[in-house]
Amino acid sequence: KAKKLESDAVLACMENVQRKVLVLSGKGGVGKSTVTCQLAYELASRGLSIGVLDVDICGPSAPTMFGVTDRQIHHSRSGWSPVYVKEGLSVVSTAFMLEGGDEAVIWRGPRKNGLIKQFLTQVDWGHLDYLLVDTPPGTSDEHISTVQYLRADGAGVDGAIVVTTPEEVSMADVRKELSFCKKVKCDVVGVVENMAQFKSGVEKVGFRSKGGEDVSEKVKEILEKLPLDPNLLACCENGEGFTEKYGEGGESEEAVSALKAI
């Protein structure tokens, strides 16, 4: 009976959410949150309604990237209201639940799962075209519970985006992510090889070329290379939408078109 109540609650919470996409990475610091948040800005600028759920409990960075660190989520009769970023873009993050922004979080599994359950059952998103879920690095309890809860509506997760860097260490982890997706029957819609090349003036210096490309044929088809770009870094720090600010044909053309292609 408890399970039924739980899945009814997820169903009610996700009722007006058209598509749910997980953003995954094997390791931390590879740009998972960057991709999530900048993709959210880009999709919102196309007139879509986007929600970002930041369940990276130990290192939530969405509030900084959206420039809303001073905000909190509020309870209302219809549930928790997400923090409004701009027209068509709202966010819920673990960071809003902590007292000080710099507080270290050491939470054990059951508590993490409890919070994820609350996020997936009690947030009043309203109508969303996409819910992007920024997950912690790796494939742990949080991922499994997120996928399980989201199955309550029968549709489950619509797809996953896997973010990696060109280094091999991180690639080995990506294989783990891919096999996780296979196991939970979640379609991988994109693999982003982030910081694929280093931009220094006019010259591009390549990192080791292996990385993101060293995966199966199917994945090659959906591989997108996002270069390291100081303007992208600045936008993330200042809580600005990168593709809108720099546009196509400007100094950050490569990164802009890579993000748009994702």
Positions in the binding site for ligand ADP (CB under 6 A): 25, 28-34, 61, 194-195, 226, 228-229, 232-233, 236
Question: Would the CA dihedral through 222, 228, 233, 234 be positive or negative?
Answer: negative
Check if the beta carbon of residue 116 is closer than 8 Å to that of residue 38.
no
- Minimum distance from residue 258 beta carbon to ligand ADP (Å): 9
- Minimum distance from residue 230 beta carbon to ligand ADP (Å): 6
For residue 249, the tally of other CB atoms under 10 A from its CB is 9
In the three-class reduction of DSSP (H, G, I as helix; E, B as strand; rest coil), residue 172 is classed as: helix
Using the 8-state DSSP alphabet, how is residue 31 labeled?
Answer: S
> Between residues 178 and 232, which has the closer beta carbon with respect to ligand ADP?
232
> Between residues 55 and 226, which has the closer beta carbon with respect to ligand ADP?
226
- Minimum distance from residue 140 beta carbon to ligand ADP (Å): 15
Residue 245, both tokens: 């600010």
CA dist 156 and 29 (Å) reads: 27
> Between residues 121 and 165, which has the closer beta carbon with respect to ligand ADP?
165
> Between residues 31 and 241, which has the closer beta carbon with respect to ligand ADP?
31
- Minimum distance from residue 33 beta carbon to ligand ADP (Å): 3
> Between residues 60 and 82, which has the closer beta carbon with respect to ligand ADP?
60
Alpha carbon distances (Å) from 230 to 45, 186, 191, 255: 21, 33, 22, 10
- Minimum distance from residue 48 beta carbon to ligand ADP (Å): 21
Closest CA relative to residue 7, chosen from 151, 184, 112: 151
CA dist 166 and 145 (Å) reads: 29
